[in-house]
């Protein structure tokens, strides 16, 4: 099994930590915001670990980005994954979903054998939501998106896919790619033993040359979309706060206020 993960600024940080620098049109993330594995990707790791618990097998974690912080990017290993491959090369940086999927698909081809590839449904920074499906298309394997449960039997995967009014049960031949949604449930915590074991595992680092891709195909050069403008949505900030002597009185006043505004 292969799991693709991305390191992102902690999406749970307060909204004020995420600012846009108007001059450069770039995101400015407050230094207090810690890097984490994108939460949906942690759930992708969890999905793979549940299958490993049930059936055994080896889990290889794959991540693109030269800013990876060792203790952050090693978390999937501490959770129970076996191997970590980092794609680190200036030529691979600055890409969009297209160039990211392109590099990851080539890395997966280089790994060679696999039954399942897991990705989070979207990364918590750019929320693009297309790298997983893109990898599947580039590799020519089927995909199932928005999984909340994955089981394997008789050479196929049975996946529960989240839809607005319930779920679909999807059977897919292997190898296949599955994107995982938050409905899968909380990922496990790393164990102390897991963390200790991780210290001995050195990540394997691959460059664009190792993947056999030309610089013109990946990173900035391989993009299919271009960012024109980045901005903060305008907030009106016109909240009328109800003042009262007690919480109960505030509750009553709120009801009266809503009535006055013809909202009730």
Partner 1 sequence: MSDYKGVLVLAEVAQGKLAPIALELLGAGHGLAQQLGEQCSAALLGNGVTALAQEAIAYGADRVYVVDDPLLQDYQSDLYLAAMDKIITEASPQIVLLGQTSIGRDLAPRLAFRRQTGLSMDCVELSIDPETRLLLQTRPVYGGNARATFVSESRPQMATVRAKAMTPLERDASRQGEVVAVAAGLSPSMIRAKVVHRVKEEVEGIKLEDAQVIVGGGRGVGGPEAFKQLEELARILGGAVGASRPPCDSNWVPASLQIGLTGKVVTPELYIAIGISGASQHMAGCSGARNIVAINKNPEANIFNEASYGVVGDFRQVLPAFIAKVRELVGK
At residue 3, the 3 state secondary structure works out as: strand
- Does position 259 interact with partner 1 (CB under 8 A)? The reply is yes
- Does position 237 interact with partner 1 (CB under 8 A)? The reply is yes
Q: Residue 19 CB, nearest distance to partner 1 (Å)? A: 8
Nearer Cβ to partner 1 (192/248): 248
- Does position 23 interact with partner 1 (CB under 8 A)? The reply is no
- Does position 67 interact with partner 1 (CB under 8 A)? The reply is no
Nearer Cβ to partner 1 (21/53): 21
Q: Residue 141 CB, nearest distance to partner 1 (Å)? A: 8
- Does position 155 interact with partner 1 (CB under 8 A)? The reply is no
H-helix or E-strand spanning residue 247: helix 247-260
CA trace torsion 234, 124, 11, 70 (10° rounding): -140
Nearer Cβ to partner 1 (126/197): 126
Angle at 142 between CA 138 and CA 147, to 5 degrees: 115
# binding residues, partner 1 (CB under 8 A): 87
Residue keyed to tokens 């991305």: 6
Contact set for partner 1, span 160-199 (CB under 8 A) = 161-173, 176, 181-183, 185-186
> In the chain, what's the furthest Cα-to-Cα distance?
70
Contact set for partner 1, span 87-146 (CB under 8 A) = 96-98, 101, 121-122, 124-134, 136-138, 142-146
Contacts of 208 (CB under 8 A, 6+ apart): 89, 91, 92, 103, 214, 215, 218, 219
Nearer Cβ to partner 1 (137/210): 137
- For the stretch 171-195, what's the b/e string if a residue is b when 16 or more beta carbons lie within 10 angstroms of its beta carbon? ebeebbbbbbbeebeebbebeeebb
Q: Residue 83 CB, nearest distance to partner 1 (Å)? A: 26
Name which position in 14, 31, 112, 155 contacts partner 1 (CB under 8 A): 14
Contact 254, 42 (CB under 8 A): no
Q: Residue 124 CB, nearest distance to partner 1 (Å)? A: 6
């Amino acid at each position: 099994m292969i799991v693709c993960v991305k390191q992102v600024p902690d999406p749970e940080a307060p909204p004020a930590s995420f600012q846009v620098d108007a001059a450069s049109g770039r995101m400015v993330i407050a230094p207090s915001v810690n890097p984490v594995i994108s939460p949906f990707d942690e759930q992708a790791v969890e999905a793979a670990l549940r299958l490993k618990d049930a059936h055994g097998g080896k889990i290889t974690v794959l991540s693109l980005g030269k800013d990876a912080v060792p203790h952050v990017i090693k978390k999937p290993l501490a959770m129970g994954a076996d191997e970590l491959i980092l794609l680190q090369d200036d030529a691979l940086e600055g890409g969009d979903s297209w160039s990211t999927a392109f590099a990851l698909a080539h890395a997966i081809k280089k790994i060679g054998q696999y039954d399942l590839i897991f990705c989070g449904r979207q990364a918590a920074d750019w929320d693009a939501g297309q790298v997983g499906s893109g990898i599947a298309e580039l590799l020519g394997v089927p995909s199932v998106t928005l999984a909340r449960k994955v089981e394997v039997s008789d050479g196929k995967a049975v996946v529960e896919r989240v839809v607005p009014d319930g779920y679909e049960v999807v059977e897919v031949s292997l190898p296949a790619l599955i994107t995982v949604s938050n409905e899968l449930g909380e990922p496990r915590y790393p164990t102390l033993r897991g963390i200790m074991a991780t210290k001995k595992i050195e990540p394997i680092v691959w460059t664009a040359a190792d993947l056999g891709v030309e610089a013109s195909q990946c990173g900035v050069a391989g993009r299919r979309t271009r960012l024109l403008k980045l901005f903060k949505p305008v907030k009106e900030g016109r909240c009328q706060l109800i003042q009262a002597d007690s919480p109960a009185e505030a509750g009553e006043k709120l009801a009266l206020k809503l009535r006055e505004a013809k909202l009730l």
